[in-house]
Amino acid sequence: MYLKTLNSESLSREKRIVKRLNLQKLPFKIGVNDFCSMYIDMMQELRQSFKYQNDKPGMTWCLSTIKKFKVFLLIFEANEIGNEIYKESLSNKLPEYSYKTIAQIVDEGLEKGFFIKLPPRIREKHDLKIRNIRPSEDITVEFINWNIDIVTSLEHFARQYR
């Protein structure tokens, strides 16, 4: 249980933070005064899900930088939708990063076996020179299982506060 033994500066800071939170979006009612102790419970519940990546090399690699994670998410999404995706299209979708950075991430992912060159699942390829990138089976399983773990943790946590 969360004990309010904060100094006055920390307590004021906590109140300013909680005041700006979107607590009304939660699937249960929680008072502003009770949120901090509830949030600690939630973080303890979720911590197990975020440890998941440590024993999964694909997820560990993907989550090692925000750049890699953004590239992975775009590749994963394109795979699920059935669209083709390649270095140039990734670079266009992530204009905050250079083409060289995107290409290095993709090449490293291909080298490690986290990404594979394979035609799109659904749509036909438009340009035969383009090498479509898809997530490997292993990283697809790791990512989906990780999401299932997070959803399960959140559901378990939410049940405690309903």
CATH 3.20.20.70 fits 56-146, yes or no: no
Go through 82-115 and write b for each residue having 16 or more CB atoms within 10 A of its CB, e for each that does not: eebbbbebbbeebeebeeeebebbbeebeeeebb
Q: Where are the beta strands (DSSP E) in the chain?
A: 115-117, 133-135
Q: What was the pLDDT predicted at 133?
A: 95
Question: Which are the contacts of 94, defined by CB distance < 8 A and separation ≥ 6?
Answer: 67, 70, 71, 74, 102
Q: List the pLDDT tens digit at each of the 162 positions of the chain.
A: 445 576 888 778 888 888 888 888 877 777 777 777 777 777 777 777 666 556 788 998 998 999 999 999 999 999 998 888 999 999 999 999 999 999 999 999 999 999 999 988 776 655 555 689 999 999 999 999 888 888 888 887 777 766
Each residue of 69-97: pLDDT tens digit?
Answer: 999 999 999 999 888 899 999 999 999 99
The model's pTM: 0.78
Nearest to 158 by CA among 13, 25, 56: 25
Sketch the domain layout of the chain as residue ranges.
Answer: 56-146
